[in-house]
Chains A and B, each alone.
Chain A
Amino acid sequence: MSKVILKAEAVRKAYRSGTERLEILKGVNFTIRSGESVAIIGKSGVGKSTLLHILGLLDTADAGRITLDETDIASIGPVARARLRNKRFGFVFQFYHLLPELNALENVYLPAMIASGTFSWFSVRSKMRNHARELLAHVGLSERTRHKPKQLSGGERQRVAIARALINKPAVLFCDEPTGNLDDKTSQTVTRLLWRLKSELDQTLVMVTHEASLAGEADRTVHMVDGRIMKEGA
Chain B
Amino acid sequence: MYVFLLSFKYLAKARSALFSIGGVLLGVAVVVVVMSVMNGYVVTFEAFIKGANSDLIVGPPRQSVLGNHYSQLREEILQVKGVTACAGTAEARADLLQAGKEIGTILVKGIDPDHEGDSGVLAKGLKQWRTLKTRFRKTAAPYPVFFGKSALGRGGLSMGDRIDLRFYRDDQDRTLAFQVAGLFSSDIKEVEALTCYIPLAVLQELYKMPNGVSRLQIAVAPGADHNRVRDRIDAALKGRVSVRVRQDHPDGNKPLFLDPGANLIVDEKTDRVLSAYSNLRQTILSVDGVAACAGSAESIALIHASGTQAATILVKGIDPVQEGAVGKFAEYLKDGITTREVFAKAPGGDPILVGAKLLGGGVVSPGDGVDLIFPVGESSQQAQSYSVTGTFSSGFHDLDSGVCYIPLDTLQEILGTPDTVSQINVAVKPGYDAQDVQQRLATALWGRAHVMDWSRHPGYQNKLLAVRNERTILLIVSMFVVVISGFVVMARLFLTVVDKTRDIGILGALGSTRRAIVAIFLVDGLLIGGVGAILGIAGGKLFVANLMQIASFIERTFNITVFSPRIYKFDLIPAYLSPTWTVSIGAVAILWTFLISLIPAALAARKNPVETLRYE
Q: Which residue of B lies closest to A49 (CB)?
A: B614
CB contact between A106 and one of B3, B5, B515 (< 8 Å): that residue = B5
0 or 1 for each of A42-58: is its CB under 8 Å from B? (1 = yes): 00000001000100101
* Interface residues in A, total, Cβ within 8 A: 35
Q: Which residue of B lies closest to A59 (CB)?
A: B610
Q: A82, A113, A118 — which one has the most chain B CB atoms within 10 A of its CB?
A: A82
Shortest B402–chain A CB gap in Å is: 65
Q: How far is the CA of A59 from the CA of B265 in the complex (A)?
A: 82
Shortest A89–chain B CB gap in Å is: 8
Does the CB pair B511–A82 fall under 8 Å? yes
Q: Which residue of B lies closest to A121 (CB)?
A: B1
Does the CB pair B509–A58 fall under 8 Å? yes
CB contact between A114 and one of B10, B511, B610 (< 8 Å): that residue = B511
The answer to whether the Cβ of B9 comes within 8 Å of any Cβ in the partner chain is: yes
Shortest A216–chain B CB gap in Å is: 26
What chain A residues lie within 8 Å of B511 (beta carbons)? 82-87, 111, 114-115
What chain B residues lie within 8 Å of A153 (beta carbons)? none
Does the CB pair A95–B615 fall under 8 Å? yes
Q: Which residue of A lies closest to B506 (CB)?
A: A97
Q: How far is the CA of A164 from the CA of B512 in the complex (A)?
A: 14
What chain B residues lie within 8 Å of A106 (beta carbons)? 5
Given A95-B616, A99-B503, A101-B13, A53 and B610 contact (CB-CB distance below 8 Å) = yes
Q: Which residue of B lies closest to A120 (CB)?
A: B1
CB contact between B613 and one of A58, A79, A85, A87 (< 8 Å): that residue = A58
Shortest A234–chain B CB gap in Å is: 30
Does the CB pair B1–A118 fall under 8 Å? yes
The answer to whether the Cβ of A213 comes within 8 Å of any Cβ in the partner chain is: no
Q: How far is the CA of A122 from the CA of B502 in the complex (A)?
A: 28
Does the CB pair B3–A97 fall under 8 Å? no
What chain A residues lie within 8 Å of B4 (beta carbons)? 118
Does the CB pair A97–B509 fall under 8 Å? yes
Given A58-B508, A87-B511, A113 and B1 contact (CB-CB distance below 8 Å) = yes
What chain A residues lie within 8 Å of B505 (beta carbons)? 97
What chain B residues lie within 8 Å of A84 (beta carbons)? 511
What chain A residues lie within 8 Å of B615 (beta carbons)? 95
Shortest B6–chain A CB gap in Å is: 7
Q: How far is the CA of A127 from the CA of B614 in the complex (A)?
A: 33
Q: How far is the CA of A121 from the CA of B5 in the complex (A)?
A: 12
Q: Which residue of B lies closest to A90 (CB)?
A: B510
Q: How far is the CA of A48 from the CA of B184 in the complex (A)?
A: 87
Q: Which residue of B lies closest to A181 (CB)?
A: B616
0 or 1 for each of A16-58: is its CB under 8 Å from B? (1 = yes): 0000000000000000000000000000000001000100101
Shortest A107–chain B CB gap in Å is: 10
What chain B residues lie within 8 Å of A82 (beta carbons)? 508, 511-514
Q: Which residue of B lies closest to A93 (CB)?
A: B613
Residues facing B in A100-117 (CB within 8 A) are: 100-102, 106, 110-111, 113-117
Does the CB pair A114–B509 fall under 8 Å? no
Shortest A151–chain B CB gap in Å is: 15
Q: How far is the CA of A49 from the CA of B610 in the complex (A)?
A: 10
The answer to whether the Cβ of A78 comes within 8 Å of any Cβ in the partner chain is: yes
What chain B residues lie within 8 Å of A93 (beta carbons)? 509, 613
Q: How far is the CA of A91 from the CA of B514 in the complex (A)?
A: 19
Shortest B318–chain A CB gap in Å is: 75
The answer to whether the Cβ of B40 comes within 8 Å of any Cβ in the partner chain is: no
0 or 1 for each of B504-524: is its CB under 8 Å from A? (1 = yes): 011111111111100000000
What chain A residues lie within 8 Å of B507 (beta carbons)? 99, 114
Q: Which residue of B lies closest to A79 (CB)?
A: B513
What chain B residues lie within 8 Å of A113 (beta carbons)? 1-2, 5
CB contact between B610 and one of A58, A95, A100, A164 (< 8 Å): that residue = A58
Residues facing A in B378-421 (CB within 8 A) are: none
Q: How far is the CA of A84 from the CA of B502 in the complex (A)?
A: 21
Does the CB pair A101–B10 fall under 8 Å? yes
Q: Which residue of B lies closest to A98 (CB)?
A: B506
Shortest A119–chain B CB gap in Å is: 8
Q: Which residue of A lies closest to B2 (CB)?
A: A113
Q: Which residue of A lies closest to B502 (CB)?
A: A97
Shortest A115–chain B CB gap in Å is: 7
Q: Which residue of B lies closest to A167 (CB)?
A: B510
What chain B residues lie within 8 Å of A98 (beta carbons)? 506
Q: How far is the CA of A58 from the CA of B505 in the complex (A)?
A: 10
Does the CB pair B613–A78 fall under 8 Å? no
Does the CB pair B510–A85 fall under 8 Å? yes
Q: How far is the CA of A113 from the CA of B6 in the complex (A)?
A: 11
The answer to whether the Cβ of B210 comes within 8 Å of any Cβ in the partner chain is: no
The answer to whether the Cβ of B609 comes within 8 Å of any Cβ in the partner chain is: yes
Q: Which residue of B lies closest to A97 (CB)?
A: B506
0 or 1 for each of B471-511: is its CB under 8 Å from A? (1 = yes): 00000000000000000000000000000001101111111
Shortest B519–chain A CB gap in Å is: 10
Q: Which residue of A lies closest to B609 (CB)?
A: A58
Q: Which residue of B lies closest to A87 (CB)?
A: B511
Q: How far is the CA of A100 from the CA of B12 in the complex (A)?
A: 13
What chain A residues lie within 8 Å of B10 (beta carbons)? 101
Q: Which residue of A lies closest to B513 (CB)?
A: A82
CB contact between A78 and one of B502, B510, B514 (< 8 Å): that residue = B514
Residues facing B in A164-205 (CB within 8 A) are: 164, 181
What chain A residues lie within 8 Å of B512 (beta carbons)? 82, 86, 114
Q: How far is the CA of A87 from the CA of B513 in the complex (A)?
A: 13
CB contact between A102 and one of B9, B609, B616 (< 8 Å): that residue = B9
Q: 18 A–B contact pairs at CB < 8 A?
A: A53-B610, A53-B613, A58-B509, A58-B609, A59-B610, A78-B514, A83-B511, A84-B511, A85-B509, A87-B511, A97-B502, A99-B503, A101-B6, A110-B510, A113-B5, A114-B511, A115-B511, A181-B616
The 8 nearest A-B residue pairs measured at CB:
A86-B511, A101-B9, A121-B1, A113-B2, A85-B511, A95-B616, A82-B513, A97-B506
Task: For the A-B complex with A95-B615, A122-B1 known, give 20 more contacts whose Cβ atoms are closer than 8 Å.
Answer: A58-B509, A58-B609, A58-B610, A78-B513, A79-B513, A82-B512, A83-B513, A85-B509, A85-B510, A91-B509, A91-B510, A93-B509, A97-B502, A97-B505, A97-B613, A101-B6, A101-B9, A111-B511, A114-B510, A181-B616
